[in-house]
Amino acid sequence: MHLAELNRGEKAHVLGVAQGEAYCHLCSLGLNSGAEVELVRSLSKKSLLIVRVDGFDIALRGETAATVKIALERTR
């Protein structure tokens, strides 16, 4: 599953980021393996996502978020 597929309020952990031109930028934002992410809000049919990464909110384009592989957190 990819970060762009999350629904509002869902939490997940980053498994990895695809190599590409945005790789270094995403890693510098904290999207590293094991980081907790939560979709706070999506705008314009998920073309822009507000994502909480380890407690900080960042904005990502949907196409960029699609390069981040995640695993959903299981609710207890």
The two tokens of residue 8 are 């509002």
Task: Using the structure block, give the residue that is written with the tokens 């073309």.
Answer: 47
Strand order of the β-sheet with 48-53 is: 56-61, 48-53, 36-43, 11-17, 68-72
pTM over 0.75: yes
Nearest alpha carbon to residue 50 among 63, 61, 37, 41: 41
Q: Which domains does the chain have, with CATH numbers?
A: 3-72 (2.30.30.90)
pLDDT string in tens for the chain (76-residue length):
999 999 999 999 999 998 887 888 899 999 999 999 999 999 988 899 999 998 899 999 999 999 999 999 776 5
